[in-house]
Amino acid sequence: MASLQNSPSLHRTLFLNSFPQPQNHGTPAFSCCRRPSSFLVRSEQSSPVCQDRPGRRQLLAVGLIFPSVSLLSQNSVSFAAENKKGFLPVSDKKDGYSFIYPFGWQEITIEGQDKVFKDVIEPLESVSVNIIPTSKEDIREFGSPQEIAETLIKKVLAPPNQKTKLIEAKERDEDGKVYYTFEFVAQAPNYTRHALSTITIGNGKFYTLTTGANERRWGKMKDKLQTVVDSFTITNA
């Protein structure tokens, strides 16, 4: 179902010298990089079109959540209770990050991604986390939000055959850590994905979280997806 576009071997050279280097920083910190796929599908027409049927969605969500609950630690359950209704938590202590995602999304495995969750009915509705090593200590060392957003969208977050547009890019500070968050669209021949990404640096890693939905469902999903992006935080691993 997922179209990964590039093989893992290409991920290592995809980003070499891609970022603008402010002033003179010497050798770019990104000597290699895996391409963080944002879970793009080849075409909506490649699978049957499913209408929103609450009964079916609820049954699927209930069937998926019980296995997830069994894997949560006691601390995670407490964390879930503190978060907004309709979301579930992810806390990765090894890699030092956490976020929440909509109830009912299913965890899947995609090579090159650290975590991926997607909707069981709408394949373009997903969230993915990608992590790569870096020697930088602050995301601002790579440039402004607009500069990095443009590079990521064109080189990483959308296939080269899709038409992309950056809508907005901004900076936020949380507990002394700087995050860049940006909104963009990627247009394929027969669908358009509207997406949000947030990036930051910490623990010697460059973190990218991307979530999105079909443009036709953006009005319904944008608040949920914004909640996902805003929830992403990193801690000391």
**H or E element in which residue 67 lies:** helix 54-71
CA dihedral sign, ordered 27, 4, 131, 212: positive
What does the pLDDT read at residue 237? 73
Side-chain half-sphere exposure of 4, counting CA atoms within 13 A: 16
Q: Quote the CA–CA distance of 66 and 64 in Å, as a whole number.
A: 6
Residue 62: predicted pLDDT: 40
pLDDT of residue 12: 35
Q: Which of 190, 227, 14, 219 is nearest to 103 (CA)?
A: 227
Bridge partners (DSSP) of residue 213 are 194
- Positive/negative CA dihedral, 98, 100, 101, 107: positive
Domains along the sequence of the chain with CATH: 8-16+28-234 (3.40.1000.10)
Tell which residue, 108, 68, 110, has the closest CA to residue 89: 68
User: For residue 23, is it left (φ>0), alpha (ψ between -120 and 50) or beta?
Assistant: left
> What's the confidence (pLDDT) of residue 236?
86
**What pLDDT score was predicted for residue 174?**
92
- What pTM was estimated for this model as a whole? 0.70
- Average pLDDT of adjacent 10-residue blocks, the chain of 237 residues: 34 38 39 40 37 45 40 43 80 97 96 95 96 96 97 95 97 94 97 98 97 98 97 91
Q: What are phi and psi of 156, to 5 degrees?
A: -130, -50
